[in-house]
Amino acid sequence: MFDIFQRKQQIKNRQQTTDTIRLSPYNKTRKQAKYLKEPNQSTENETNSNEPNQSGINENNAEPAKDLGKKILKRIFITLIGITLIVTASTSGFLVYLQHFAKTPAQPSKASVQYSKLPAQSSEIPAQSSEIPDQSSKIPAQSSKIPDQSSKIPAQSSEHKTIITIHPGERFSHIATMLETSAIITNRYLFIILAGHKGAIRKIQAGEYELSGTYSPEIILEILVKGKVKLHRLTIPEGLNIRETATIVEKAGFGKSESFIQLATDMDFIETLGIQTESGSGIEAESESGSGVETESGFQGIKITSLEGYLFPETYFFPAGTAQKKIIKTMVERFRKVFIPEWKKSAEQLGFSTHQIVTLASIIEKETGNSNERPLIASVFHNRLQRGMRLESDPTVIYGIPDFNGNITKKDLLAVTPYNTYMIYGLPAGPIANPGKLALKAAIFPLNSDFIFFVSRKDTTHQFSKTLKEHNLAVRKYQLNSHGRINSHGRN
């Protein structure tokens, strides 16, 4: 009887222990997770796996702790990867945002225009640069985290450019404000950030710039850092003298004409250019026997007293504020490039120095109305020099008259001056204008002819004659001199 009671008590205790384990919240969660992972597992295996061992503890109780740790580590790892991706995308997207937003106009248009449709840059900027390529195709695609700014770009039918002047030592914040005020950029703060990121704040060069709101911020910074300033055109036609050239320089905004003339006649400055004012090598001023430069009136030889003849006529481009010394040096350097050593050698073979050829070329330039006639007019002057005849060129007389009023009088023709070729033999005292390349070439390589006279037909061309009789007939036909005399070769 006692054994039966004891046996029942053991069974009861065991049942209570089993119920306690099964009702545990942890064991309940474990059991649910097990059913989710192994839905097809038999009920018998479930019961066996949850039965306690001899110590009364389930062996699988330690496994959930390990799984929970793995899940936490996995979530931390995934979170770190996500943060890294977000930071990377935000950084690149912010730079794109700076590039786009800094050039976005303050009042967006309704039309959505892509950067690839922006108008091409104008070719008027010469370049030093000279040209600014369209950079729209180089703008990267915007990040999905950054709002699209393309809808704020207005459709522009033409490119409007604004002149911006940056003074030496000007602060970058002032420059950015000026760009924003001129509608070249719309946010100076973002522009300053972009410039700081590229290290461009302390590299801006002073000067006058021509900028447009269609330029990207990167292009604007490149222009300012590389000093691609606006260049101003300076066109000097052939046949102008120093005073006429100085007037054009002043009108172009490069200083006063008086200071230009003073520099062009300053002997010390002329010598710094490598032009010798006395006999010697370089651009010579020597007198050579047999070259026809000795004059009956006592004006022997040709001395350089100014840069007349060496301010080469050409179209130049200079930044605003370029010093007149720089302009003059550029003109003289251009002359040296045009007057090649082979020409100098050919001139010497003819018995002329460089300065004498320049003097003759200046007369040819002033007498020529039609460019095709330069070699023929040159042949007339060469023939007259070889025969010991006076050149009798009206432009030489005019050059020697101070404040010429436009009319040559008999008194002017009889006045003895270093430039009056009606009264002196050979070449005048120096160039009377700045000849171009074709006139210089014609002076060295004249056409082979027997002509010693020419008279204007009043249509920019001339009638050439070999004898005085032929010439007088041509004068009666085309032009009678207003002074009642026959001009030896007429005027243009």
Asked whether residue 175 falls in the same domain as residue 250, the answer is no
Q: Are residues 298 and 193 in the same domain?
A: no
According to the per-residue pLDDT averaged within each range, which of 18-27, 58-67, 214-223 is highest? 214-223
Residues 262, 311, single domain; the answer is yes
Let me know whether 330 and 225 are in one domain: no
Residue 161, φ and ψ in degrees, nearest 5 = -110, 145
Instruction: For residues 427 and 379, give the distance between their C-alpha atoms in angstroms, rounded to a whole number.
Output: 15
Q: Please count the structural domains in the chain.
A: 2
DSSP secondary structure of 273-306: TTB-SSSSSSB-----TTSS---TTS--S----S
Long-range pairs, 141-144, Cβ under 8 A, ≥24: 141/96, 142/93, 142/96, 142/97, 142/100, 143/89, 143/90, 143/92, 143/93, 143/96, 144/89
Pairing of strands 207-212, 231-235: unpaired
The pLDDT of residue 81 is 75
Task: Verify that 253 and 356 share a domain, yes or no.
Answer: yes
Mean pLDDT of 456-485: 83
- Predicted local confidence at residue 61, as pLDDT: 53
Q: How many CA atoms lie less than 13 Å away from 96 in the CB half-sphere?
A: 21
Give domain status of residue 385, yes or no: yes
Do 211 and 276 fall into the same domain? no
Q: Domain check: are 317 and 211 in the same one?
A: no
Q: Per the structure block, which two tokens stand in for 103?
A: 């050039």
In CATH, what number is assigned to the domain containing residue 208? 3.30.1490.480
Last-in-domain residue among 181, 196, 229: 229
**294 and 191, same structural domain?**
no
Question: Which of 44-53, 168-177, 307-316, 473-482 bottoms out in mean pLDDT, i.e. has the lowest?
Answer: 44-53
Residue in the block written with tokens 């979170």: 79
Q: Which two tokens stand for residue 220?
A: 């604007």
- The tokens of 483 are what? 């002074």
Q: Does the pLDDT of residue 433 top 60, yes or no?
A: yes
User: What's the mean pLDDT in 194-220?
Assistant: 93
Check whether residue 316 and residue 260 sit in a common domain.
yes
pLDDT in tens, 304-334: 789 999 999 999 999 999 999 999 999 999 9
Task: Write down the pLDDT at residue 407.
Answer: 87
Q: What is the mean pLDDT of the chain?
A: 76
Quote the domain boundaries for residue 444: 242-449
| pLDDT tens digit sequence for 133-177 | 444 444 344 433 333 333 334 333 357 889 999 999 999 999 999
- Is residue 398 located within the same domain as residue 445? yes
> What was the pLDDT predicted at 284?
43
- Six-digit token pair at 183? 């509608």
Residue 432 maps to a domain = yes
207 and 271 inside one domain: no
**With 50 as the cut, is the pLDDT of residue 251 above it?**
yes
Residues 195 and 286 in one domain: no
pLDDT at 2: 53
Q: Any idea which of 125-139, 152-166, 418-432 has the lowest mean pLDDT?
A: 125-139
Kindly state the tokens that stand for 480. Answer: 């009678």
Tell me the residue type at 426. Answer: G
**Residue with tokens 């108008």, as numbered in its chain:** 119
Q: What's the pLDDT score for residue 78?
A: 80
Residue 217 lies in a domain: yes
> pLDDT tier at 179 (50, 70, 90 boundaries)?
very high
CA-CA distance, 269 to 279, in Å (whole number)? Answer: 17
> N- to C-terminal Cα distance for the chain?
158
Q: Is 76 among the domain residues?
A: no
